[in-house]
Amino acid sequence: MEGDFRSARVAVVGLGLMGGSLCAALRTRNACREVIGVARRPATLQMARDLRFIDRGTVDVQEGLRDADVVVLATPVRDILAKLATIGPLLAPGTLVLDIGSTKRAICRAMENLPAGIQPLGGHPMCGRETSGLAMADPTLYRDRVFVLVPLPRTAPWALAMGCSLARGIGARPLVIDAADGEASVAEGCPAAARHDRLVAAISHLPYMLAAALVEAAAATAEEDPLAWELAAGGFRDTSRVAASDPTMMLDILATNRDEALRALRHAQGQLERLARLLEEGDLKALRRAIEAARNRRMEVLS
Amino acid sequence: MEGDFRSARVAVVGLGLMGGSLCAALRTRNACREVIGVARRPATLQMARDLRFIDRGTVDVQEGLRDADVVVLATPVRDILAKLATIGPLLAPGTLVLDIGSTKRAICRAMENLPAGIQPLGGHPMCGRETSGLAMADPTLYRDRVFVLVPLPRTAPWALAMGCSLARGIGARPLVIDAADGEASVAEGCPAAARHDRLVAAISHLPYMLAAALVEAAAATAEEDPLAWELAAGGFRDTSRVAASDPTMMLDILATNRDEALRALRHAQGQLERLARLLEEGDLKALRRAIEAARNRRMEVLS
């Protein structure tokens, strides 16, 4: 539906932490005409109604999507893929379909198969918590956070503008990812999605893998000496935090971004091997340079 | 000086983030008779006086230690080693010498060479920030944090008790590390120090090395596509935080704990290679098991 987001009926499919918080933000900020929740379990819908996060809700996807001008898919990535394969016939022509999954290539490929009258748009809000579920939803989750939008070659300008309005409507800062220079001609359905997946592999999926490795490596020491956990302070806590992320969400992310996650991981392994060699050789001058370089970089990019 | 910590004169050598915060906590909480600051630069002493973190201060180590009942060494580890080699003759018999360096083997070895009348005690408060310097000092830095105490074989019970009083005096929770079972007979000067260094390698130095590798690996991606940093959210921020730690402090830590840091790093490298293989092989069942194991572990040890 071309037009004003404020007059849109928005159906959100999946009322977990991300979908629930999105509904809560839309309702709290009065950002659109109606918020329709779609969930698998009636108890989830009841909680969403009780919290006033949705105007109405249903377990029936067909019913939920029938009157929607905007559909937001907010389930784990592989569930989004399954839904994209089936919802086409349920959507009215002119509907905007936006997802908020954490990887974009597989999703944008699946979006290409939606009926011609539908407007698809990839989305990825750069926020999240290591908690999950509607009970942890928070209307301020998206506030001042970057909300990445990944247009497909077929996405109309008005649909992209509508996605930006939705992002602003929940308090986020829209950031449109275009195909990087020189990549537009790559034999790939959606160059912007490929660019997105490479970036988040380094900036989001790699931190997860390092955190998970940290937890398991520390556990090996703690098995020899359980006192280890009592010494865990802020450094361990922060560095390992994302290891507590929802497992289905993380598995779907890694499963749909294997090559780029592996590429980022190989980079990090190279860095760690470099550190290991400096320790082994006792080359303290080079070790100091490595420590100072990492610190300067961290302070430069994140103040 | 055997006796009550409340009547002790405490000299703190090094007024950076850790030493400055320790002085501030002692003064704010009125934990001892007098706080004497020792720093290299007069401007630092002036700031410490202005902030009422110390009762008096001096750039002259001899003058600072002359009347002290308790001496706290709060400089980077290798500077502590240098000071331990020279301060012996400056100390009155019965003085307690405590350090707050992040590694303990090298320091406890150096403490063994203090004159017989001196009571040495290793210390390691499990807190810290990626900031440094007296301007960032905070009287609440130690509050409710674990303060590890590492007694040497020669440390008298009263000296250990005094160290516990100091820890409680700044609001921290003292935790005495003993030689682990079966390690007491190891041919090592201070088995408790060896135990400490192995534990912190896994729980503190490893997070640092992973954070530094993350920053450099992400930088490699960002060099190809600077948009990467704009996508950095809480996950990247938290996982990379300790990479901004003070370089001299970190270099000294790794330089004096090379073997254990390397051992922890090799553990983590093994975990990362396991993840890399699962990604390469696309073994999603095993990947799910790995993800769930890390999550359960993280939630179990840190709620």
Residue in chain B closest to A296 (alpha carbons) equals B244
Which pLDDT does position A131 carry in this prediction?
A: 83
Give A287's contacts in chain B (Cβ within 8 Å).
251, 254-255
DSSP string of B162-204?
A: HHHHHHHHTT-EEEEPPPPTTTTTSSSS-HHHHHHHHHHIIII
- Is residue B226 predicted with pLDDT exceeding 60? yes
**Chain Cα centroid distance, residue B258:** 16
The pLDDT score that the predictor gives to residue A113 is 96
Chosen from A236, A259, A273 to mutate, greatest number of chain B CBs within 10 A: A236
How large a percentage of chain B has pLDDT more than 90?
Answer: 92
A91 and A22 both lie in a single domain: yes
**Are residues A217 and A145 part of one domain?**
no
- Chain A residues lying within 8 Å of B258, measured CB to CB: 279-280, 282
pLDDT category at B2 given cuts 50, 70, 90 is low
Alpha-carbon distance of A52 to A23, in angstroms, equals: 9
Query: How many folded domains does chain A comprise?
Result: 2
CATH number of the domain where residue A258 is located: 1.10.3660.10
Residue-level pLDDT at B1:
57
Q: Is A299 on the interface with B (CB under 8 A)?
A: yes
**Going edge to edge, which strands form the sheet with A146-151?**
A56-58, A34-38, A9-13, A70-73, A96-99, A119-125, A146-151, A173-176
pLDDT in tens, A92-102: 999 999 999 99
Looking at the DSSP bridge assignments, the partners of residue B38 are B13, B58
What would the pLDDT profile of A63-77 be if each residue is shown by its tens digit?
A: 999 999 999 999 999
- SS3 of B139, please? coil
With an 8 Å Cβ cutoff, is A205 touching chain B? no
Residue B298 has pLDDT above 60, yes or no: yes
Model confidence at A144, in pLDDT bands (50, 70, 90)?
very high
Can you give the CATH number for the domain in which A161 is found? 3.40.50.720
Q: What angle do CA B23, B24, B28 make, to 5 degrees?
A: 120
Greatest CA separation found in chain B?
67
Mean pLDDT of A109-135: 94
Place A303 in a pLDDT band, splitting at 50, 70 and 90.
low
Is residue B283 one of the residues assigned to a domain?
yes
SS3 content of chain A, % helix, strand, coil (to 5): 55, 15, 35
- How many pairs of residues across A and B have Cβ atoms under 8 Å apart? 309
Last residue of a domain, one of A135, A164, A190: A190
Average pLDDT over residues A270-283: 98
pLDDT for A49 beyond 60 = yes
Tokens encoding A91? 């959507």
Residues of chain A in contact with residue B18, where contact means CB-CB under 8 angstroms, are none
B188 in any annotated domain: no
Give the nearest chain A residue to B220 (CA atoms): A267
Determine the average pLDDT of the residues in A122-145: 93
Per CB-CB distance under 8 Å, the chain B contacts of A266 are 276
Look at A277-286, B70-79, B174-183, B244-253 and tell me which has the smallest mean pLDDT: B174-183
Specify whether A184 is located in the same domain as A207: no
Instruction: Tell me A291's DSSP state.
Output: H
* H-state helical runs in chain A: 17-28, 42-50, 61-66, 77-84, 105-111, 157-169, 191-200, 206-224, 234-240, 247-255, 258-281, 284-301
Best of A288, A301, A303 to substitute, by most chain B Cβ atoms within 10 angstroms, is A301
In this prediction, residues B177-196 reach a mean pLDDT of 75
Whether residue B243 lies inside any domain: the answer is: yes
Are B209 and B251 members of one domain?
yes
pLDDT surpassing 70 at residue B188: no
Question: Among A190, A208, A224, which residue terminates a domain?
Answer: A190
One domain for residues A47 and A162: yes
Do residues B69 and B1 lie in contact, with contact meaning Cβ atoms separated by under 8 Å? yes
| pLDDT digit string, tens, across residues A199-228 | 999 999 999 999 999 999 999 999 999 999
Q: Are residues B223 and B179 in the same domain?
A: no
Residue A117 CA, chain-centre distance (Å), reads 26
Mark yes or no for CB contact B275/A238 under 8 Å. no
Q: Let me know if residue B43 belongs to a domain.
A: yes
Q: Is residue B19 part of a domain?
A: yes
CB within 8 Å: A265 and B287: no
Residue A180 has pLDDT above 80, yes or no: no
> What strands, in cross-sheet order, belong to the sheet with B9-13?
B56-58, B34-38, B9-13, B70-73, B96-99, B119-125, B146-151, B173-176
Q: Which residues contact A291 (CB under 8 A, 6 or more apart)?
A: B212, B247, B250, B251, B254
Residues A36 and A154 in one domain: yes
Query: Domain range holding A100?
Result: 5-190
What pLDDT was estimated at residue A298? 95
**C-alpha distances in Å from residue B130, one per residue of A53, A72, A193, A235, B255:** 39, 39, 35, 9, 19
- Those of residues 41-100 in B touching chain A at CB distance below 8 A are none
- Look at residue B185 and tell me whether its pLDDT is greater than 70: no
DSSP lists the bridge partners of residue A176 as A149
Shared domain for A217 and A181, answered yes or no, is: no
Is residue B189 a part of any domain in this protein? no
**What pLDDT, in 10s, does the model give residues B83-122?**
999 999 999 999 999 999 999 999 999 999 999 999 999 9
Please indicate if any CB of chain A lies within 8 Å of the CB of B202: yes
Please check whether residue B186 touches A, CB under 8 A. Answer: no
pLDDT-derived band of residue B129, with 50, 70 and 90 as boundaries? confident
pLDDT score for A130: 79
A144 and A124 inside one domain: yes
Same domain, A91 and A209: no
Hey, is the C-beta of A123 within 8 angstroms of any chain B C-beta? no
Assess whether B231 and B157 both reside in one domain.
no
Largest separation between any pair of C-alpha atoms in chain A: 67
Report ipTM for this prediction.
0.93
Q: What's residue B120's pLDDT?
A: 98
For residue B74, give both structure tokens.
């709060």
User: Is A217 in Cβ contact with B206 (below 8 Å)?
Assistant: yes
Identify the weakest region by mean pLDDT among A171-185, B14-28, B37-51, B151-165.
Answer: A171-185
Domain's final residue, options A190, A213, A234: A190
Nearest CB among A202, A247, A287 relative to B292 is that of A247
Shortest Cα distance, chain B CAs vs residue A161, angstroms:
20
**B297 — contact with chain A (CB < 8 Å)?**
yes
Chain B residues closer than 8 Å to A271 by CB: 212-213, 216-217
A219 vs B contacts (CB less than 8 Å): 297, 301
Give A159 to chain B, closest Cα distance, Å: 22
User: Do the chains contact at A294 and B211, CB–CB below 8 Å?
Assistant: yes
Mutation for testing the B interface, residue in A173, A230, A287 having most B CBs under 10 Å:
A230
> Does residue B190 sit within a domain?
no
A280 touches chain B (CB under 8 A): yes
Residues 209-228 of B with CB under 8 A from A: 209-222, 225, 227-228
Decide if pLDDT at A185 tops 60.
Answer: no
Q: What is the pLDDT of residue B130?
A: 79
- pLDDT above 70 covers a percentage of chain A that reads 96
- Same domain for B228 and B166, yes or no, is no
pTM, to two decimals? 0.93
- Considering chain A, what is the average pLDDT of its residues? 95
